[in-house]
Amino acid sequence: MWEHFRTNLSYRIISLLLAIGLWAWVTTAQNPVKEALYEIPLETRDLSSDLMVAEKPSMVRVRVQARDSVLAEVTSRDYQAYVDLSDAVIGRNMVPVEVITPDGVEVINTSPSQVPIIIDQITQIQMPVHPSLSGQAATGFAVLEPTISPSEVLIAGPKSILDRITDVVVDVTLQGHRESYLERVPIKIFDAEGNPLQDWLRIQPDTVEVFVPVIRELPSKRLVIKPEFTGEPPDDQRVKQVVVDPEMVQLFGRWELLEQHDYLYTQPIDLSQLDGTTVVEVELAVPEGTYLGIPAQVKVIVEVE
């Protein structure tokens, strides 16, 4: 009897193993393990509040594997790739990439598995905001210099990026306007090559109010801009070259007032404060009773040697 029981037990165990194997085979055949490749935005975490990321890769590639049914339900937005910057120092850091996956998904590899992160000290500067106009007012109407409030913004970020800033602007688009208007516009920041920098910076406030005066067109006259200088260059130097940008401006007013002027002068520029090649942003001296077309402020490039 014992032999009969042992034989039956063996058959039962074998049958169970065969059933498990058949189930596993069917499951695998119907829902196989597959691989997938995702491109995921790289985040940063736990960086000290007095530091800021100056440079980092924007994306990493993650190869994963999972059952076909699992992969069918997830997208790249269900993954997170990040670097832990709790131990980061100013300068270049090589930091491993960590990946958080949905349940049932296994990471095969991450490319790159380590990334260079440039950390810089946060500094702040205050800079004026200038309008960047496009389009035109309606025929018979003129646009005067927009008023921006506040006229300056506080910009915080890595010193290496702050040093690259050349323009802090707001876009103002005219579409046949016949009257003055007020709008709130986001700040844009660019370097000398026109590359946007605002994504790396904190701007306070990040939007400003722009009042755009639109008036019925008055008689106008184009005048050459002449820089007004005071003082003398330091250390027996001399002014080698002066460039004004733009060179001319449109002045509006009654004809009897416009006829009195052949040039439009800048506010005084003190030569004693200049050294080498200096770019000075300066207001124009607008004669009383006249109105200035765009711009009201010009750049004067002075080369002293």
* Residue 104 and residue 67 in contact, taking contact as beta carbons nearer than 8 Å: yes
pLDDT of residue 177: 87
Q: pLDDT at residue 91 above 80?
A: yes
* Residue 117 and residue 85 in contact, taking contact as beta carbons nearer than 8 Å: yes
Q: Which residue, of 193, 216, 239, is where some domain finishes? A: 216
Q: Residues 120, 126, 131, CA angle at the centre, nearest 5°?
A: 115
Q: Into how many domains does the chain fold?
A: 3
Q: What is the pTM of this model?
A: 0.52
Same domain, 137 and 149: yes
**Boundaries of domain holding 49:** 33-120
Q: pLDDT at residue 200 above 90?
A: no
What residue has token string 């124009």?
284
- Phi first, then psi: what are they for 129, rounded to 5°? -105, 135
Q: pLDDT at residue 1 above 60?
A: no
Q: pLDDT at residue 251 above 80?
A: yes
pLDDT of residue 16: 61
Q: How confident is the model at residue 273 (pLDDT cuts 50, 70, 90)?
A: confident
Q: What is the DSSP string of the chain?
A: -HHHHHHHHHHHHHHHHHHHHHHHHHHHHHS-EEEEEEEEEEEEE---TTEEEEE--SEEEEEEEEEHHHHTT--GGG-EEEEE-TT--SEEEEEEPEEE--TT-EEEEEESSEEEEEEEEEEEEEEE-EEEEEEEPPTTEEE---EEESSEEEEEEEHHHHTTEEEEEEEEEEES--S-EEEEEE-EEEETT--B-GGGSEEESSEEEEEE-EEEPPPEEEEEEE--EES--STT--EEEEEEESSEEEEES-HHHHTT-SEEEBSPEEGGG--SEEEEEEEB-PPTT-EE-S-SEEEEEEEE-
What residue has token string 């790396």?
200
When pLDDT is averaged across residues 287-303 and rounded to a whole number, the result is: 82
Same domain, 112 and 45: yes
When pLDDT is averaged across residues 13-32 and rounded to a whole number, the result is: 58
* Residue 80 and residue 99 in contact, taking contact as beta carbons nearer than 8 Å: yes
Residue 13 lies in a domain: no
What residue has token string 């070259």?
241
Q: pLDDT at residue 9 above 80?
A: no
pLDDT of residue 23: 52
When pLDDT is averaged across residues 128-151 and rounded to a whole number, the result is: 87
Same domain, 37 and 115: yes
Buried-state track 115-143, b at ≥16 Cβ within 10 A, e below 16: bebbbbebeebebebbbebeeebeeebbb
pLDDT of residue 54: 83
Q: How confident is the model at residue 38 (pLDDT cuts 50, 70, 90)?
A: very high
Residue 147 lies in a domain: yes
Beta-ladder partners of 281: 299
Q: Which residue, of 100, 120, 140, is where some domain finishes? A: 120
Q: pLDDT at residue 43 above 60?
A: yes
Q: pLDDT at residue 79 above 80?
A: yes
Residue 12 lies in a domain: no
Structure tokens at 162: 């702050």
Look over the chain and give the mean of its residue pLDDT values, rounded to a whole number: 86
pLDDT of residue 60: 97
**What CATH number is associated with residue 164?**
2.170.120.40
By the 10 Å C-beta count (0-12 exposed, 13-18 middle, 19+ buried), 170 is classed as buried
Same domain, 258 and 292: yes
Q: pLDDT at residue 3 above 70?
A: no
CA 98 centroid distance within chain: 26
Residue 111 lies in a domain: yes
Q: How confident is the model at residue 49 (pLDDT cuts 50, 70, 90)?
A: confident
Residue 6 lies in a domain: no
Residue 2 lies in a domain: no
Residue 3 lies in a domain: no
pLDDT of residue 5: 46
Q: pLDDT at residue 173 above 80?
A: yes
Residue 24 lies in a domain: no
Same domain, 270 and 227: yes
Same domain, 116 and 135: no
Q: Tell me which of 42 and 174 has the higher pLDDT.
A: 42
Q: Which residue, of 71, 102, 120, is where some domain finishes? A: 120
pLDDT of residue 170: 94
**What CATH number is associated with residue 59?**
2.170.120.30
Q: How confident is the model at residue 143 (pLDDT cuts 50, 70, 90)?
A: confident
